[in-house]
Amino acid sequence: MTPTLFEKISARKIPATIVYEDEKVIAFRDIKPQAPTHVLIVPKKPIPRIAEAGPEDQQVLGHLMLKAAEVAKQLGLSQSGYRLVVNNGPDAGEAVPHLHCHILGGRKMNWPPG
């Protein structure tokens, strides 16, 4: 199977501005930001989308969420707030078939989104 864009970034085959990394996740700035701060946090394990995650992925999914909050704090978003977004499938805006969470902040977010 061909590695996803995010697997290539994690393997340093494609450049990215990395803001956090550990053994399970990598976080980097989005190349087409939708907010003043727009970072993607991605599990290194290639899970295509949340709908395809299984019970065996529980630990990495929890780690992903906790690290998203940690990265948001590191980026100075804790006081004003931020939005976490997980897209699932093309109608939701999923562009890369590798589970990832968008951390968006630095401006007021509208509701409902989209």
How far is C-alpha 95 from the chain's CA centre?
A: 12
Residues whose CB is less than 8 angstroms from the CB of residue 16 and which lie 6 or more positions away in sequence, other chains included? 9, 28, 29, 31
What does the DSSP 8-state code read for residue 31?
S
Q: Is 100 a catalytic residue?
A: yes
Catalytic residue among 38, 63, 98, 100: 100
Write b or e for each residue in 46-80: b if 16 or more Cβ atoms lie within 10 A of its Cβ, otherwise e: ebebbeebeeebeebbebbeebbeebbeebebeee
Tokens 């409902």 sit on residue = 112
Could you give the residue numbers annotated as active site?
Answer: 100
